Amino acid sequence: MTTLSIHPSIDGGILPAAKDFAGGTLVCRCARDPVIVEVATQTAFNHACGCTKCWKPQGALFSVVAVAPRDKVSVKSNANKLKVVDASAAIQRHACTGCGVHMYGRIENTQHPFYGFDFVHTELSEEQGWSPPAFAAFVSSVIESGTKPSEMPKIRSRLREIGLEPYDCLSPELMDLIATHVAKQSGELKA
């Protein structure tokens, strides 16, 4: 029986975060003149994502994506190779024009609940110790990328086997953050 592959960085098990880990560099997959992005802190809210917007390596069913404060994310080399994939999207995903890898995603809308966070793929780093994925988000969205609906029970089972609770939105903690932001914006919840 073949084990269902979710993503190469987690199929063999999830590694714990390293104590006092302070970040590292992400490198695109270009052999020459790679884009290098520094993330000068530990990441948070790392998760497997089934949406159709996130970058996935060849053959992966899910992406693995985390967040870091935007002031801790900076391009160190070959910024000229970066281009926003979809300017109309809430998350401005900056991809390398050479290899297509998404190096980071940034939210420019100051009213967005996640403004101030950048989205990064720590699998692009050789450093070990990044925060591990803790849940799976937008699981049903893999259907939109061609997965048969009949495969969903097996996918959810495999995610749980790996240690990732599957959600068809974000984790409860992130959904609470969004709802709190919206309630404060509307005045329903006092800041």
- Catalytic residue IDs: 49, 51, 54
The edge-to-edge listing of strands for the beta sheet with 44-49 is: 82-84, 92-96, 102-106, 117-120, 63-69, 44-49, 135-137, 165-166
Q: Is 97 left (phi over 0), alpha (psi -120 to 50) or beta?
A: alpha
Using alpha carbons, list the distances in angstroms from residue 113 to 39, 49, 55, 174.
Answer: 21, 18, 22, 10
According to DSSP, the residues that pair with 64 across neighbouring strands are: 48
Distance CA 11, CA 168 (A): 20
